[in-house]
């Protein structure tokens, strides 16, 4: 277990929610610490605090002053579990420093949100080394050993990932600068046909590409397979939509990325949309969906949830 700590305002949250938060922190490789009892009154601050979790009472629109004080003093991001529904399941404010989790706040949603906010913040034992949290989105690459998609993140938070489509896992691009070159190609001021032609020449049928662009808040996917990627959102109708239904062009998809969108680009389990358990957990967010996929040794892919 890492020394990385999560401060949990247990009295605010109540026993039931606190228990879920404590369990989520441990699964994410962090050490949950009751606050303020264990940290303040004893005079012993926990090592390397990463996150502060508290509650927002019904009808309240201001962060409780005691949480603001400790968050500013320790330079911590804050997760507030709200007692009422919000315009979206997750609302990010203050440039990502504050995350509001609205009702229904299921155990899976709470655990997934804690996992999301700890991604890349020093929880060494995090179960998915491919998780990243940026100003626009949480992203994850996953798969069996040797088949995890390659990924790189630009300075602005844009993500580019390459997925092998070959029977034996392989990648046409093998270095960060290769992925950066592909990202620049996607972002260039080219027509749809020009972009498709260049990616087809570069990747052929051996690889698929996923790019989440922070500047334009959009997804671009080169996907030369018969099984399309999907976007899930509680704000879209239908909630789960194949990208092939959004774009008449096959193989190259360009879609605006809206708050609450979850991109699901999965290989090796193309019939996952018929799995009731997987489809049900989509409503709890990308990390909850990833937690189920991690037990499937033949599945690889990319997930991206827009904040």
Q: Where are the domains of the chain?
A: 5-118, 131-306
pTM: 0.85
> What's residue 60's pLDDT?
81
Under DSSP, is residue 74 helix (H, G, I), strand (E, B) or coil? helix
Q: How far is CA 237 from CA 109, 134, 136, 165, 212, in A?
A: 21, 27, 22, 30, 22
CB 4 within 8 A of CB 92: no
For the record, the structure tokens of 81 come out as 């579990």
Both tokens of 257, joined, read 């990325």
What pLDDT does residue 219 have? 94
Q: What is the pLDDT of residue 297?
A: 66
Give residue for tokens 């155990």: 107
| Residue spans of beta strands (DSSP E) within the chain | 5-8, 31-34, 49-56, 78-82, 90-93, 98-101, 131-133, 137-142, 150-153, 159-164, 207-213, 218-222, 230-232, 240-242, 252-256, 262-267, 300-306
Q: What is the pLDDT of residue 244?
A: 79
Which letter does DSSP use for residue 149 in this model? Answer: P
Helix ranges, 160-293 (H): 176-187, 192-203, 243-246, 276-281, 286-293
CATH fold for domain 5-118: Rossmann fold (3.40.50)
What residues form DSSP beta bridges with 138?
Answer: 133, 305
pLDDT at 27: 81
Closest to 262 in 3D by CA, of 300, 303, 298: 303
Q: How far is CA 31 from CA 111, 131, 285, in A?
A: 14, 19, 23
How high is the pLDDT of residue 174?
Answer: 55
User: How many of the other CB atoms lie within 10 Å of CB of 64?
Assistant: 16
Write out residues in the chain with pLDDT < 50, as ranges.
1, 38-39, 41-43, 123-128
Distance, in Å, from the CA atom of 165 to the CA atom of 147, rounded to the nearest integer, reads 10
Reading the block at residue 35, the tokens are 């606050």
Find the distance separating the first CA and the last CA of the chain, reported in whole Å. 28
Q: Residue 135: which of 115, 152, 151, 155 has the closest Cα? A: 155
At 234 the pLDDT is: 85
The fold for domain 131-306 equals Phosphatase 2c; domain 1 (3.60.40)
Under 8 Å between Cβ of 25 and 6: yes
């Amino acid at each position: 277990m890492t020394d990385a700590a999560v401060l949990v305002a247990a009295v605010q949250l109540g026993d039931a929610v606190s228990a879920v938060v404590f369990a989520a922190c441990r699964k994410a490789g962090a050490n949950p610490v009751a606050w303020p009892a264990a940290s303040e009154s004893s005079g012993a601050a926990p090592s390397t605090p990463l996150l502060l979790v508290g509650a927002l009472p019904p009808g309240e629109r201001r962060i409780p002053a005691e949480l603001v004080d400790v968050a500013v003093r320790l330079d911590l991001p804050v997760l507030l579990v709200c007692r009422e529904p919000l315009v979206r399941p997750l609302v990010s404010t203050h440039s990502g420093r504050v995350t509001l989790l609205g009702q229904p706040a299921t155990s899976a949603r709470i655990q997934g949100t804690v996992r999301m906010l700890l991604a890349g913040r020093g929880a060494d034992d995090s179960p998915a080394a491919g998780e990243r949290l940026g100003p626009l989105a949480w992203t994850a690459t996953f798969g069996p050993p040797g088949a995890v998609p390659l990924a790189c993140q630009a300075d602005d938070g844009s993500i580019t990932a390459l997925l092998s489509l070959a029977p034996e896992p392989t990648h046409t691009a093998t270095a960060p600068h290769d992925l950066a070159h592909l990202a620049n190609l996607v972002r260039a001021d080219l027509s749809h046909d020009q972009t498709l032609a260049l990616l087809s020449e570069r990747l052929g049928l051996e690889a698929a590409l996923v790019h989440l662009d922070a500047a334009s808040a959009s997804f671009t996917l080169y996907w030369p397979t018969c099984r399309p990627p999907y976007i899930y959102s509680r704000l879209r109708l239908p909630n789960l939509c194949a990208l092939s239904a959004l774009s008449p062009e096959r193989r190259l998809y360009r879609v605006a990325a809206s708050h609450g969108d979850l991109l699901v680009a999965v290989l090796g389990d193309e019939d996952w949309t018929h799995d009731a358990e997987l489809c049900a957990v989509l409503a709890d967010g990308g990390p909850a969906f990833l937690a189920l996929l991690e037990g499937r040794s033949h599945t690889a892919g990319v997930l991206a949830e827009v904040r």
